[in-house]
Structure 1
């Protein structure tokens, strides 16, 4: 992902992630070029993680910032 993951983009990203995970055993989301992520964006990432768990998909986040990792692991 590049740019911003916020209240405007989160619904589209959430749907794209659901579609990308369909029938996949493993999906990697690269956040290293993400410039901004608000609570709506974080919610979309948590929803993707929950969807992946529900469908038995291994979801991996490549990240740049430590807070993203801590936030996702605590949710």
Structure 2
């Protein structure tokens, strides 16, 4: 993701719930959870910070989607 010009923050400290709450308090545009299951399947669960909708998609597709929205300076279109 960083190679695509996107800001990425990785957090492994504290519980998953507290990390998600912290991301919401920081008003993160997208929160992505990557655990053992996601690594195994190649899909990630991404939560849109605007409306808290959850989307499951391949990690490469997420990267393309985020990079395009960033490059075009438009809202993320799932």
User: TM-score, with normalisation over the residues of structure 2?
Assistant: 0.27
Q: Which has the larger radius of gyration?
A: 2
Greater helix content: 1
User: TM-score, with normalisation over the residues of structure 1?
Assistant: 0.28
Of structures 1 and 2, the one scoring higher in RCO (CA 8 A, sep 6+) is 1
